[in-house]
Amino acid sequence: MPFPQQKKFAFDNELPRRSFFRLAGLAWAMGVAALTGAFGLWTAAIARFFVPNAANEPNQTFKAGFPEEYAAGRVETKFKNRYQTWIVSFAHNGRRRIVALRAVCTHLGCITNWNESENRFKCPCHGSGFSAIGINLEGPAPRPLDRYAIRFAEDGQLEIDRAKVFCYRPGWEEEQGSFVEV
C-alpha cells in the first residue's frame, strides 16, 4: 500500500531554513556596518568642529601703505573686503590723524558700508549710521565702531594690527596705538 500524499504547505516551497539564517546574518552585518559608518562620520564631523580654520584667514597684521597716500577727510575702502578695515584720515586739533576702523557694526555684527554722499558709514542690516571717524550717530548701534591698533612700520608704512582692538570707553580716542599722527 502506497503512502498517502502529504499535503504541501505554502512555505514549503520557500527559502530553506539554512538560507534564511544566512540572509538574516548578512542583513545584520550590513546594518552594523552602516551604523558604524554613520557613527564614524558623525565623530569626524564633531572632531572637525573643534579644529580652527586658521589656514584660510588673512594675516592679523598688514601694511596699508604710506601716510602720504591718505588725504585728510578721506576714507580708504580698499581694505574692506579682505581685512574688514576702513582707513580714515582726518584733522584733529590742527594735526592730521589716521585711524583704522573695524568695518563691523557694533549692533549685531553686520559689515558697514561707506556712503560717500552722506559722508558716513551705514549698516545695511538695521540702519545704524556712523560718522566718518566711526562715532555712532543713529540707529540701534550702542557705541562707535571699534579701532584696530595702528603704527608706523620700520619702512615708514602704516601697519594695522587686527589682533588688538580698541573698544569704546571714556578717553578711548586718545589711547596710544589707536591712531597715528602725521
Return d(Cα 13, Cα 125) in angstroms, integer: 71
CB-based contacts of 133, cutoff 8 Å, min separation 6: 88, 90, 99, 101
Of 142, 96, 136, nearest to 88 by C-alpha is 96
**pLDDT on residue 23:** 83
Backbone phi, psi, residue 173, to 5°: -70, -10
Backbone phi, psi, residue 68, to 5°: -65, -20
State how beta strands 95-102 and 147-152 pair.
Answer: antiparallel
Per DSSP, the three-state class of 16 is: coil
Return d(Cα 146, Cα 151) in angstroms, integer: 16
**pLDDT on residue 22:** 84
Return d(Cα 88, Cα 76) in angstroms, integer: 6
**pLDDT on residue 54:** 64
**pLDDT on residue 87:** 94
Contact status, residue 138 vs residue 129, Cβ threshold 8 Å: yes
**pLDDT on residue 139:** 85
**pLDDT on residue 15:** 63
**pLDDT on residue 19:** 79
The 10s digit of each residue's pLDDT in 59-102 is 789 999 999 988 888 898 899 888 999 999 998 888 899 999 99
The 10s digit of each residue's pLDDT in 11-37 is 555 667 777 788 888 999 999 999 999
